[in-house]
Amino acid sequence: MNILKVKDRQELDKRVPTMPWYVEKFINYKLPDLSPSSLLEYVRDYETFFSWLLAEGLAQGSSVKEVPIEALEKLHMESIDNFRMFLSTRTENTNSKTTISRKLSSLRSLFHYLSQIAEDEEFYPLLKRNVMAKVEIKRTHKPKDTAAKLEGKLLQEEEIHEFIAYVHRGYEQDVANNKQALYSYHQNKVRDACIVTLILNSGLRVSEVVNLNVDDIDLKKKLTHVYRKGKNDDTFKTPVYFRQEAMDDLTAYLELRQTQYKAPKREKALFLAIANGKKEGERMTKRAIQAMIIKYAKYFGKPYLSVHKLRHSFATDYYLRNDLYKTQEQLGHASPETTQIYAHLTDKTMAEAIDFRKAQD
């Protein structure tokens, strides 16, 4: 069972009844094809949009749920442009261009369904006029642009080994005068080092790490079995190989998992944490793993590192030794175009390596 997907499905089931009837109809239509996580993002985007419509007087109702479908038919292009401007200038949480494009894309999917697929009892479209069909959504996630943003923010070659070594030993010296940090480190350093080493030697996503169970690990074959992003089949896990370098840390952690975290027999999660006030370990959360990586990265001198940048670091290193399609398969990318960011990153890395050799000659 994909733990994160189950939680997102529960949250989706809670939020959908607060949406207008036609949104609920759309979500039910999409549910067999899209993951609960993706649909939950849709619902959040619609909540933002409908709340804005009410605030601007473009729709009548006492709540989001009461926004009539007729209000969508009366929207002008100017209204959509104003909403785009609203998203780009929200002071409490300014959206990136990529986020704005995603929110507009969510709206376009809803409007397309209502105007082209859904019908009323007389076989007419539910939405008679689709303003979103006129909206151009520019592609903002080009591999070259993504590579440029990541440049200089990843671990390269020896830095990968240095960061792993830092989690093993170096951090202890930097927090020697902080009793609370030192105690937490001694309690969790084997687990933390295992997580860092596994990501840097497999390229797993944080969601995949969170969902790992003990029986997903095959030390003999050096692989894990994970639920891949975008796949809705909860009965099938994809095998993902990890490098030999991760073996020692995985073995060390598995040896103390039961005793260190007092895991009950019913708890199948690989990575555990004991929450405050509790006596037994339970599955680590996505937020806990992210915070753990950021903690070590800050003291290591690379505060911009994150779980996802560790994945990128592995991918860049892996791509240098393999080809595009092997890297795509290892990372679980749906399209080779996504994997192309590592081609741009490695071009820079290889150029720097050549310059370095020339300087030595």
Active site residue 22: no
Active site residue 76: no
Question: What's the CA dihedral at 98, 99, 101, 103 to 10 degrees?
Answer: 160
Write the secondary structure of the chain as one string of H (helix), E (strand) and C (coil): CCHHHHHHHHHHHHHHHHCCHHHHHHHHHHCCCCCHHHHHHHHHHHHHHHHHHHHCCCCCCCCHHHCCHHHHHCCCHHHHHHHHHHHHHCCCCCCCHHHHHHHHHHHHHHHHHHHHHCECCCCCECCCCCHHHHCCCCCCCCHHHHHHHHCCCCCCCHHHHHHHHHHHHHHHHHCCCCHHHHHHHHHHHHHHHHHHHHHHCCCCCHHHHHHCEHHHEECCCCEEEECCCCCCCCCCCEEEECCHHHHHHHHHHHHHHHHHHCCCCCCCECCEECCCCCCCCEECCHHHHHHHHHHHHHHHCCCCCCHHHHHHHHHHHHHHHCCHHHHHHHHCCCCHHHHCHHHHHHHHHHHHHHHHHHHHC
Active site residue 333: yes
Among the listed residues 283, 312, 333, 344, the single catalytic one is 333
Among the listed residues 15, 189, 308, 348, the single catalytic one is 308
Among the listed residues 25, 102, 229, 231, the single catalytic one is 229
Among the listed residues 228, 237, 311, 344, the single catalytic one is 311
Among the listed residues 205, 237, 283, 312, the single catalytic one is 205
Active site residue 321: no
Which sequence positions are flagged as catalytic?
205, 229, 308, 311, 333, 342
